Amino acid sequence: MNLDALIRRAAQMPPPQLEQVRARRAVHEIQREYARRLAEGPEITTDVDLRDPYATEVDDVVRISRAAQLAKTGVVVWDARRHHLDWSGEMSILLGYAPGERQPSGWRLLSHLHEDDRDATLKQVIDAWRQGTAVELTFRIVRANNTIYAHSLVEILTTADGSPYGLIATTRDATRLELARQERDRITRRNRTIEVSHISHDAETGLLDASPFADELDRAHRAGTGALLVITAPPLTRTQNSGEHDGHDRDVAAAIAATITKIARPADICGRLGPHEYGVVMPYAPLDVARPVADEILDGLRNRWFMAGAVRLDAYGGLVRYDHRVPITTTDLLIDAETAWRQATRTDQPLYVLTDTPSAEQRHETVRARVRAAVAGDRFTLHAQPILDLNLNQVVRHEILLRTLDNAGDPHPPTALLSLAEHVDEIIAVDRWVVANAMRLIGQTPQTTHYQLNLSGRSLADPGMLGHIRDAIARHSVNPEQITFEITETALAANLTEARKLVNGLRELGCQIALDDFGTGYTSLAYLKYLPVDLLKIDGDFIRDLPNSAADQEIVRTIVDLCRTLGIRTAAEYVQDDAALTLLRQYGVDFAQGYHIGRPQPVATRRHRNPYVDLSLQVVSVPTGETAEQSPRRQTETPRSSADHHRKAV
Cis peptide bond N-terminal to 16, omega within 30 = no
pTM: 0.68
pLDDT of 623 reads 45
Q: How far apart are alpha carbons 231 and 317 in whole angstroms? A: 4
Q: Report whether 400 contacts 485 (CB < 8 A).
A: no
Q: Report whether 332 contacts 362 (CB < 8 A).
A: no
Sorted by sequence, the CB contacts under 8 Å of residue 504 that are 6+ apart come out as 532
Sorted by sequence, the CB contacts under 8 Å of residue 461 that are 6+ apart come out as 495, 498, 499
pLDDT of 628 reads 35
pLDDT of 460 reads 85
Residue 643 to residues 86, 329, 421, Cα–Cα distance (Å)? 72, 9, 10
pLDDT of 450 reads 94
Q: Report whether 589 contacts 583 (CB < 8 A).
A: no
Dihedral sign, Cα of residue 35, residue 36, residue 42, residue 46: negative
pLDDT of 14 reads 65
pLDDT of 59 reads 58
Comparing CA positions, the residue from 567, 568, 573, 592 lying closest to residue 582 is: 592
Q: How far apart are alpha carbons 133 and 166 in whole angstroms? A: 12
Comparing CA positions, the residue from 431, 449, 448 lying closest to residue 382 is: 431
pLDDT of 162 reads 80
pLDDT of 637 reads 41
325 phi/psi in degrees, rounded to 5: -85, -10
pLDDT of 577 reads 93
Which residues partner with 271 through β-bridges? 208, 279
pLDDT of 457 reads 82
Under DSSP, is residue 562 helix (H, G, I), strand (E, B) or coil? helix
What averages of pLDDT result for each successive group of 10 residues across the chain (650 residues)?
Answer: 70 64 67 69 57 51 61 86 91 92 92 95 94 92 94 89 89 92 84 64 86 92 94 72 55 89 94 91 94 94 69 89 91 92 93 89 88 90 94 92 85 84 88 95 90 90 92 96 88 71 92 88 72 91 91 94 94 94 96 94 59 48 41 36 37
The pairs formed by 297-306 with CB atoms below 8 angstroms and a separation of 24 or more are 297/229, 297/231, 297/259, 297/260, 297/263, 297/264, 298/231, 298/350, 298/351, 299/350, 300/259, 300/262, 300/263, 301/231, 301/233, 301/256, 301/259, 301/260, 302/350, 306/252, 306/255, 306/256
